[in-house]
Amino acid sequence: MKEKIKILRIINRFNLGGPTFNAAYLTKYIGDEFETLLIGGEKDETEESSTFILDSLHLTPTIIPEMKREIGLKEDKIAYKKLKDIIKEFQPDIVHTHASKAGTLGRMAAYKCKVPVIVHTFHGHVFHSYFGKTKTVFYKNIERYLAKKSTKIIAISDIQKNELTQRHKICDKNKVAVVPLGFDLRRFQEDYESKRNDFRKHYLLEDDEIAIGIIGRLVPIKNHTLFLKAIDQLLKKTTKKVRVFIIGDGEEKENLIQYCKEFNIDFTEFNKQKKKVTITFTSWVKNVDWANAGLDIIALSSLNEGTPVSLIEAQAANNPIVTTNVGGVENVVQKDKTGLVVPSGNNQAFSEALLKLVENDALRKQMSEKGWEFVKEKFHYERLVNDMRELYFSLLENNKK
């Protein structure tokens, strides 16, 4: 009987977001020819756990507590040793790492242990808008070194590939394969009306109120301040009834609440008080299909992105989009067809785009009708799995030569 191809899959941590879905679907559905061991680090305290995703797929990962989001020389050294021990015992044919910390420790351990094929997926990068110049150069040099030790680098969009190879010079373009993310998007279409009615009842939304949502971690890179400034301008210009939902949590929450206080924007934290206000901080909502069904417009104001999952999910739920033009946005949104795309950091343009969608019912409807058709095949997990299988077989075959 032919032995299975062994894959050691290593991810930073199991928090809500695209990387967890990516690693989980690949682990579950990659095929009977493969045996996968899934490894993850410790989730940050400010983030919502995504272990419910793994539970739904009946996956039990191995957790390395020392592999954390922040750099810590002592803990990183322990995590690196644990990864080497796992590699020596499991004897993988392929080590596939996802995101920066796992990519650093996992690839170093795999290279040291002479693993035949080493693959790394960039789900995003920290090469602009995260750190100062010195620190950014330091991280770029680390990634250039690691790229030399990698068999293949995976970018999740054509735009990201261009950034990695042309703008930031991490590696040659021939070393990079583009494999877009994939999800189970059908749930965004299932029981849509029921979910919509339930969400809107839950948050006291009237039929004539337009609900704008922004979904993601409340951290500086997501630039929620720009979103709030745009909302402030929008409310002064529109005659429509508008409600705003900030879905997520993180270190920036108190700063955003303080901003609302300073500019006299009424708000509430829904877990503390159930009332009708302009802005509701919902904290994390695990059932994002439920939230998307109840919303009318999805926004994203980030300074940097890989592939913004919230925008893929928005289109799967037939929601029109207003977004800054960063990272892989233009690979996942059809500009002026499923969403309005504005320059990053441009508060006026962002506000005007929101106003345009709020005021124009016909435009919202027109954009909403095109979203599902655009994303349903392009970003389905079956396409992701098939693409990755082909790549694995190709890399293993080349390694024999």
User: For 245-298, what is each residue's pLDDT tens digit?
Assistant: 999 999 999 999 999 999 888 898 875 566 678 999 999 998 999 999 999 999
261 in the same domain as 163: no
What CATH number is attached to the domain comprising 127?
Answer: 3.40.50.2000
207 in the same domain as 70: no
338 in the same domain as 242: yes
Count of structural domains, the chain: 2
pTM exceeds 0.85 for this model: no
Evaluate whether 234 touches 355 at the Cβ level (below 8 Å): yes
48 in the same domain as 133: yes
Average pLDDT score over residue span 178-202 = 95
326 in the same domain as 250: yes
Average pLDDT score over residue span 102-126 = 91
386 in the same domain as 354: no
Buried-exposed string 70-102: b where 16+ CB fall within 10 A, e elsewhere: eeeeebbeebbebbbebbeebebbbbbbbbbbb
Which pLDDT band holds residue 37 (cuts at 50, 70, 90)? very high
394 in the same domain as 371: no
pLDDT of residue 110: 98
Average pLDDT score over residue span 82-103 = 96
Which residue range forms the structural domain that includes residue 128?
5-184+380-400
204 in the same domain as 95: no
**Looking at the predicted structure, is the pLDDT value of residue 399 above 50?**
yes
327 in the same domain as 388: no
205 in the same domain as 158: no
pLDDT of residue 46: 63
87 in the same domain as 38: yes
Question: Picking from 29-43, 125-139, 209-223, which range would have the lowest pLDDT averaged per residue?
Answer: 125-139
Kindly provide the residue ranges of all beta strands, DSSP E only, lying in 202-334, ordered along the sequence: 209-215, 241-247, 267-269, 279-283, 297-300, 321-324
Nearest to 89 by CA among 77, 81, 98: 81
169 in the same domain as 34: yes
